[in-house]
């Protein structure tokens, strides 16, 4: 069985998907289609929100970029009293994951002071993306 | 709905490895599976099945590709060593194992077309990891957990 057609098909499809993957991961999408409609609060997230903004990070064990995301968000929020970072174990909170339509980890929701989702990033966000997003929240 | 606010997985003192090792392994896996599809030589598929099984069930420490990496590639690399937790690459190898064993059974049954498709998924994942630093665990683990709980809720 010497057939090169499947090989060409696999590499073509995988390359197309890979390019989309790299372009889409880590971007903070301002108007995500899957954004939650109702504002989120302590009763849903289990922690107090930041008065200006909150980053809600969904993580899992089998996820290398979750580490980079955690380090970045803790680093950015630790110096700010009005911005908080909440990390949630996606696997242990599947009801919430379904409600917010989280499909992969890390997914980070950006909430304003009232708990409204104003953006979400799938994959490890870049530092500049987060800094710019934060700067746009009054 | 109540929230479980404690992370159920370990986030401190993880077992860390050089993150370039599994990526090198993905390059070799891509070559082996491509060679298998090109030649149809089942020895190549069985070899890759063995490699997946070793890493998935014993650990990254026994990976033949990891051995090649640490002996002949790592000494030539300079600069800071990027590290990662061992669990994500081990999870990816388990997924690889499931695809490879399925493909092996399909070939044994004479279902070659189905076998090619299943190998194709494993090859695509390995290539994506090698070329685009694709994180399989990130993309599929939560979907599996969601599907599992949806199925058990229906019972």
What is the per-residue pLDDT for B17?
A: 93
Q: Does B35 touch chain A (CB under 8 A)?
A: no
Q: What is the pLDDT of residues B55-71, one digit of tens each?
A: 999 999 999 999 999 99
A34 has pLDDT over 80: no
Instruction: Give contacts of A92 with chain B, Cβ < 8 Å.
Output: 4, 6-8
- Using CB atoms, pick whichever of B124, B139, B146 lies closest to residue A10: B124
Domains of chain A and any CATH numbers: 27-136 (3.40.30.10)
What is the per-residue pLDDT for A64?
A: 92
Instruction: Give contacts of A61 with chain B, Cβ < 8 Å.
Output: 8-10, 87-88, 137, 141
Instruction: Give contacts of A5 with chain B, Cβ < 8 Å.
Output: none
Instruction: Give contacts of A18 with chain B, Cβ < 8 Å.
Output: 127-128, 131-132, 134
Instruction: Give contacts of B93 with chain A, Cβ < 8 Å.
Output: none
CA distance B82 to A22: 19
What is the per-residue pLDDT for A30?
A: 86
Q: What is the pLDDT of residues B69-104, one digit of tens each?
A: 999 999 999 988 999 999 999 999 999 999 999 999
A54 has pLDDT over 60: yes
Q: B45, B107 in Cβ contact below 8 A?
A: yes
Position B18 confidence tier, pLDDT thresholds 50, 70, 90: very high
What is the per-residue pLDDT for B116?
A: 96
| Angle, CA B12 vertex, CA B8 and CA B14 arms, to 5° | 95
**B95 to chain A: nearest residue by CA?**
A62
Position B10 confidence tier, pLDDT thresholds 50, 70, 90: low
- Using CB atoms, pick whichever of B85, B134, B142 lies closest to residue A90: B142
- Provide the shortest C-alpha distance from residue A122 to chain B (in Å): 10
Q: Does B151 touch chain A (CB under 8 A)?
A: no
Q: Does A93 touch chain B (CB under 8 A)?
A: yes
What is the per-residue pLDDT for B12?
A: 67
Q: What is the pLDDT of residues A125-138, one digit of tens each?
A: 999 999 999 999 87
Q: What is the pLDDT of residues B96-138, one digit of tens each?
A: 999 999 999 999 999 999 999 999 999 999 999 999 999 999 9
A1 has pLDDT over 60: no
A53: enclosing H helix or E strand:
strand A53-59
Q: Does B47 touch chain A (CB under 8 A)?
A: no
- Interface ipTM: 0.87
A89 has pLDDT over 80: yes
Q: What is the DSSP letter of A93?
A: G
Indicate the SS3 state at residue A113: coil
What is the per-residue pLDDT for A121?
A: 95
What is the per-residue pLDDT for B6?
A: 67
CA distance A137 to A124: 20
């Amino acid at each position: 069985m010497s057939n090169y057609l499947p090989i060409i098909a696999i590499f073509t499809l995988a390359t197309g998907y890979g390019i989309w993957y790299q372009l889409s991961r880590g971007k903070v999408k301002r108007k995500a289609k899957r954004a939650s409609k109702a504002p989120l609060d302590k009763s849903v997230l289990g922690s107090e929100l930041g008065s200006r903004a909150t980053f809600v990070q969904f993580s899992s064990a089998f996820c290398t970029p979750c580490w980079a995301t955690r380090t970045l968000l803790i680093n950015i929020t630790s110096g700010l009293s009005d911005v908080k970072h909440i990390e949630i174990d996606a696997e242990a909170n599947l009801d919430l994951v379904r409600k917010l339509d989280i499909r992969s980890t890390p997914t980070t929701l950006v909430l304003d002071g009232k708990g409204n989702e104003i953006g979400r990033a799938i994959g490890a966000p870049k530092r500049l993306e987060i800094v710019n997003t934060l700067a746009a929240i009054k | 709905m109540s929230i479980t606010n404690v992370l159920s997985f370990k986030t401190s003192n993880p077992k860390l490895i050089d993150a370039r090792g599994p990526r090198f392994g993905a390059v070799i896996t891509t070559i082996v599976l491509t060679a298998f599809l090109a030649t149809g030589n089942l020895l190549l598929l069985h070899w890759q099945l063995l490699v997946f099984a070793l890493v998935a069930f014993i650990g990254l420490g026994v990976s033949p590709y990891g051995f090649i990496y640490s002996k002949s590639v790592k000494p030539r690399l300079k600069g800071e060593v990027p590290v990662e937790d061992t669990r994500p690459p081990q999870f990816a190898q388990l997924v690889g194992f499931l695809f490879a064993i399925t493909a092996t059974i399909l070939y044994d049954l004479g279902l070659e077309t189905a076998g090619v498709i299943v190998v194709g998924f494993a090859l695509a994942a390995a290539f994506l990891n090698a070329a685009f630093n694709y994180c399989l665990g990130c993309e599929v683990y939560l979907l599996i957990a969601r599907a599992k709980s949806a199925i058990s809720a229906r019972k």
